[in-house]
Amino acid sequence: MTTAAKVEVGVYAGAIALDSWATQDGLRQGHFYERNPFARPFVNHGAGGQTVAALLGFGAGVGPSYLLYRSGHKKIARVWLHVFTAGETANAIYMAHLVIHHRHLVTQ
């Protein structure tokens, strides 16, 4: 695995962690709900469920990329990881913004 790929996997994991925090904080505020139907059954069960959802999401991004890479489809493997990393990073930043902004509005 190249250094660039290791960094990208780290960014992907960080984005999942940020999204996990934002999801749980938003649910605690009571004005948010999980829109992803695959994650919803897990995240509504607190930190343990959120951890399971995060691990499944991480596996969905890194697992197929690794399998594609190992089977000789290196370009597709990189694209797969790029798409998942970009999507999760954008979503995590957006969710964190919503949660923090909503908290700020409520406390004013």
pLDDT of res. 32: 87
What number is the average pLDDT over the span 92-98? 95
Highest mean pLDDT among 2-6, 37-41, 90-94: 90-94
Per-residue b or e along 33-71, where b marks 16 or more CB atoms closer than 10 Å to that residue's CB: ebeeeebeebbeeeeebbeebbeebbeebbeebbebbee
What number is the average pLDDT over the span 87-93? 97
* Domain parsing of the chain, residue ranges: 3-107
**Shortest CA distance to 35 belongs to which of 106, 98, 102?**
98
pLDDT of res. 2: 84
What number is the average pLDDT over the span 29-48? 91
**Mean pLDDT value across the chain:** 92
Q: Extract the tokens encoding 66.
A: 């690794």
CA angle in degrees (0–180, nearest 5) for 50-31-41: 30
Please, what is the angle between helix 46-70 and helix 3-29, to 10°? 160
pLDDT of res. 49: 96
One-letter amino acid at 65 equals S
Separation of CA 28 from chain center: 18
19 and 89 Cβ atoms separated by less than 8 Å: no
Provide the 3-class DSSP secondary structure of residue 71. coil
Whether the predicted pLDDT of 108 surpasses 60: no
pLDDT of res. 33: 87
